Amino acid sequence: MNELERRLLALGPELELPPERDVAAAVVARLENGRRPFPWHRVATALAIVAVAVGAAFAVPQARSTILRWFHLRGATIERVETLPPAVKRSQAGGLGRPSPLAEAERIVGFDLALPPFEDGGPKRAYVLDGVLASVIVEAHGRSVLLSEFRSSDLDFLKKVTDGETSVEPVRIDGDPGLWVEGPRHALIYPGGFSERRPILIHGNVLLWVHGDLTLRLEGKLAKAQALRLARAIR
């Protein structure tokens, strides 16, 4: 200890300090009675800015393409390309597996199919692909449409490839996320878990959406409003 430290230590007892104040009670009272309100207006402003930014991005084809490349709809993704890959044509139920009675198909895939109400009792059979994907043909708005279903997963079971002539629009079905794909043609690929992996050429519009623990896909020559109406009727 040097000379300066010794003098400061000796000076300590001679100093007069003011009495200590009890500030604990005042602090507690201020916390309980004078809490600052949560800045909801700032949150709302931030969300509005984000919404505008996302809307502007979807209005630009290049930005919309980038967004949809990583948009993951629980087992289904959409990728934009300049040129569609070589794809094969199929009939409405072609390449969807073997037909089975509806109850047997549900037993194979391990879930009850989500279906719209039918006056005639609905489809009597379903097509099952690799024990995972179940598809039925239903009549809606005077047209035959294909309804496919599988358990939602972080893995990509379905992959759609679109070009610049096809539009992709995020939608909501009873609060659940979905994608509306509309255009002259696009390709469907089964990248994971399915036996047929060759791209399939699709003519017609497609609605993809999440329904409980399932991901559903509706394909056919339906307008957007018709497809959404049918999707909201499915239980």
Residue 58, pLDDT score? 46
Tokens describing residue 197: 């992996």
Select the more confidently predicted residue: 154 or 49: 154
User: What digits encode the pLDDT tens for the residues 52-82?
Assistant: 333 444 455 554 444 444 456 888 887 777 7
Distance, CA of 58 to CA of 68 (rounded, Å)? 9
| Nearest in space to 164 (alpha carbons), one of 68, 72, 65 | 65
Select the more confidently predicted residue: 83 or 194: 83
Residue 56, pLDDT score? 42
Round the average pLDDT of the chain to a whole number and report it.
75
pLDDT category of residue 33 using cuts at 50, 70 and 90: low
Residue 210, pLDDT score? 94
Distance, CA of 169 to CA of 109 (rounded, Å)? 29
Q: What is the pTM of this model?
A: 0.66
Residue 151 DSSP SS3: strand
Percent of the chain scoring above 70 in pLDDT: 63
Contact call for residues 77 and 217 (beta carbons, < 8 A): no
Select the more confidently predicted residue: 220 or 121: 220
User: What digits encode the pLDDT tens for the residues 87-106?
Assistant: 777 777 777 888 999 999 99
The predicted model gives 18-36 an average pLDDT of 59
The predicted model gives 211-215 an average pLDDT of 94
Residue 222, pLDDT score? 95
**How far is residue 193 from each of residues 18, 100, 133, measured CA to CA in Å?**
78, 20, 10
Residue 75, pLDDT score? 80
Which DSSP helix (H) or strand (E) runs through 150?
Answer: strand 143-151
User: What digits encode the pLDDT tens for the residues 136-175?
Assistant: 999 999 999 999 999 987 666 677 677 777 888 899 999 9
Which DSSP helix (H) or strand (E) runs through 176?
Answer: strand 176-182
Whether residue 208 is predicted with pLDDT greater than 80 in this model: the reply is: yes
pLDDT category of residue 85 using cuts at 50, 70 and 90: confident
pLDDT category of residue 44 using cuts at 50, 70 and 90: very low
Distance, CA of 20 to CA of 114 (rounded, Å)? 72
pLDDT category of residue 6 using cuts at 50, 70 and 90: low
Residue 30 DSSP SS3: helix
Contact call for residues 218 and 232 (beta carbons, < 8 A): no
Contact call for residues 205 and 143 (beta carbons, < 8 A): no
